[in-house]
Chains A and B, each alone.
Chain A
Amino acid sequence: MPDITAAIDEAGANVVVPRAIASLALPPQSGSGTLGPFGASWSATGMLSGGMVDLIPPPPDVIRLTGLRLDYKLGLTLSVDLSFLNFCLPQVCVNIPFIGRVCTPRVCITFPTISIPVSFSSFVNFDADFRLSVHLTGSTWFIDAMVVGVPLLQLSPAVAALLSAIGLAAGLALVGIPFIGPLLAGVVIAITSGIGLAGVLGLLGPLISPFVSGLTFNVAQVNKTFEVIPAALPDPAVDIVIDNIAAMLDGSAGEDELVVNVDISPPP
């Protein structure tokens, strides 16, 4: 028999868990490589919120969160070598009454490599199952919930939007480059087609998935040495030592609950 048993039902879990989820600091992601035929560097930040909690006792013994929302901000810088556009203006000749016929030389236009900064924000809703994990780290007991497997993120809607944002940013970056004006629409198409939906998905998937794979949130934590306050005077507060914590999902009492059993002992 445990010395102490505490429990919260689903209504309580729906207060505790979303609060824990929202306070998570997801580590930012960054990297560089290629995006289609172009060089690229990227960084992303993410924030979780929401989620409805369903406590499901064994089997399958999971805390199921439905309707979790991951908001993410993506900073992408594309490096586009425009030399494929290089062309030469032909010789231009005119007749000037007091000078005569004058011709300009043929002038070749070389286009630079440009950086195209793209800022993109979006969100994705997903469901995930979590399993309880209790561990003592240092002098603190942690009751964590760790995601089971890798949640499936439906990124397809964001893929099209990001490709569109890349096209828009490319247009803005290109518009001031001399001699590109008449070619602008075609160049934007060349850039977005060169990357393609598959290219964007290939970037977005590995960049956003780490925010949720291995996701762990803390349900509760307590010091190993714990001060117990009496219900009424004149008993004084006393310290106890938490020797063990077991956390589980239990539906045996007719309601699904998150149950914590604690073994304690007096301090040495």
Chain B
Amino acid sequence: MDTLDSRLLSTTDCFGRRFREAGSYTYGLSATPQSCSPLQQDQFEIEVTRQESPAGAGRQHDVTVTFEGGRFVADPPQLRVSQGDVILWNAPEPSTPAFAVHGEGDRYFSNASMSDECLYSHAFGVAGEYVWKDANGGGLTGMVIVKDLDLSDPKNCERWTASLEEGSVVVVEGDRAEPPEVEILTGQTVFWAVSKASGITVTDERLAD
């Protein structure tokens, strides 16, 4: 069973956000999609400096999430980036519980409620048809068809190995996803690039209801 749900990120998921506005951001990491967990979370910081990158030219900064002593830890815990840069969160260790990123204060951002200029990626591990929707009640929906190749044919083996480096992009704007349907091979990654939306998720419809 492959879990497609942008609300909680596991090893095969990434959440990214472009930071357009300069200033200080704080965020926490939690094991639930809600940010109002009664459990005390560690806070991590992002300092975005004025140095406007042209649209589409920001640098990428990776934040590694681990779980140590019963708490989520972001590495690096403090990050200094330039306006227009992208920060990408991922947990490389399979033992790390699924987590959510929650920006705090006025500058709220979260993978559990994606709005402007953010992205969610998922590498699909199990073949099947994944109808996805916005678990936060929006009308957004789409489908990912994941197929296995018969690797007994050596040519298919080469094709599959090469395909793992190729990603598919679904652009989300409002309640529209383009393309609405994507067909990939097992192991390939789909990126949902959220241009503008009002707090959406990308969630397998079987998990959304």
- Residues of A whose CB lies within 8 Å of any CB of B are 89-105, 107-110, 176-186
Give every chain B residue within 8 A of A92 (Cβ-Cβ). Answer: 121, 123, 164-167, 188-189
Instruction: Say which residue of B2, B56, B171 sits within 8 Å of A100 (CB atoms).
Output: B56
Give the CA-CA distance A104 to B189 in the complex, in Å.
9
Task: Select A107's contact among B12, B127, B169, B171, beta carbons within 8 Å.
Answer: B12
On whether the beta carbons of B16 and A99 are closer than 8 Å, the reply is: yes
Name 13 A/B residue pairs within 8 A (Cβ), A-sorted: A89-B12, A92-B164, A92-B165, A96-B119, A99-B56, A100-B60, A102-B60, A104-B90, A176-B126, A178-B2, A179-B187, A182-B151, A183-B151
- A102–chain B nearest beta-carbon distance, Å: 6
Provide the residues of chain A in CB contact with B169, threshold 8 Å.
94-96
Sort A-B residue pairs by CB-CB distance and give the 4 closest, nearest first: A178-B125, A179-B125, A181-B148, A100-B56
Shortest beta-carbon distance from A208 to chain B in Å: 35
Q: Residue-by-residue, is B1-44 near A (CB-CB < 8 Å gives 1, otherwise 0)?
A: 11000000001101010100000000000000000000000000
Query: Does B149 contact A182, Cβ atoms closer than 8 Å?
Result: yes
With A and B bound together, what is the CA distance between A180 and B2 in angstroms?
Answer: 11
Q: Give the number of residue pairs across the A-B interface with Cβ within 8 Å.
A: 119
- 6 more contacts with CB within 8 A, not counting A91-B165, A94-B169, A177-B126, are A92-B165, A92-B166, A92-B188, A97-B171, A105-B14, A179-B125
Q: How far is the CA of A94 from the CA of B11 in the complex (A)?
A: 19
Is the Cβ of A178 less than 8 Å from the Cβ of B94? no
Contact of A89 among B16, B151, B164 (CB under 8 A): B164
Q: Which residue of B lies closest to A180 (CB)?
A: B125
B residues within 8 A CB of A89?
12, 123, 164, 187, 189
Query: Chain A nearest CB: distance from B159 CB in Å?
Result: 10
Q: Across the interface, which residues of B come within 8 angstroms of A110, CB to CB?
A: 94
| Contact pick for B92, options A90, A96, A108, CB 8 Å | A108
CA–CA, A89 to B90, complex, Å? 14
User: Which B180-199 residues sit within 8 Å CB-CB of chain A?
Assistant: 185-189, 191, 193, 195
Instruction: Tell whether A98 pairs with B193 under 8 Å between CB atoms, given A182-B149, A182-B186.
Output: yes
The reply to whether B16 and A102 form a contact with Cβ atoms under 8 Å apart is yes
* Contact between chains at A96 and B193 (CB < 8 Å): yes
List, in ascending order, chain A residues with CB within 8 A of B186's CB. Answer: 179, 181-182
* Least CB separation from B11: chain A residue: A107
Question: Does B55 contact A98, Cβ atoms closer than 8 Å?
Answer: yes
B121 neighbours in A (Cβ, 8 Å): 92, 104
Residue B117 at the chain A interface, CB threshold 8 Å: yes
Contacts of A185 in B (CB 8 A): 150-152
Taken together as a complex, chains A and B put the C-alpha atoms of A70 and B18 apart, in Å, by 71
A96 to B167, CA, bound (A): 11
Give A90 to B188 CA distance when docked, in angstroms.
10
Interchain CB contact under 8 A, A181 and B127: yes
Closest residue of A by beta carbon distance from B95: A110
A-side contacts of B127, CB under 8 Å: 181
Interface residues of B in 51-70 (CB under 8 A from A): 53, 55-58, 60, 62, 64
**Cα separation A38 to B5 with both chains bound (whole Å):** 35
Report the Cα distance A112→B90, complex, angstroms.
Answer: 21
A88: min CB distance to chain B, Å:
9
Alpha-carbon distance A178/B12, docked complex (angstroms) = 10
Determine the chain A residues whose CB is within 8 A of the CB of B171 once the complex forms: 96-97
Instruction: For the complex, give the distance between the alpha carbons of A96 and B118 in Å.
Output: 10
Q: Is the CB of A102 within 8 A of B187?
A: no
What 0/1 readout, one digit per residue, does chain B (154-180) give for beta carbons within 8 Å of chain A?
000000100011111101000000000
Cα-based distance from A91 to B121 in the complex (angstroms): 12
B101 within 8 A of A: no
CA distance A34 to B14 in the complex (A): 41
B145 at the interface (CB under 8 A from A): no
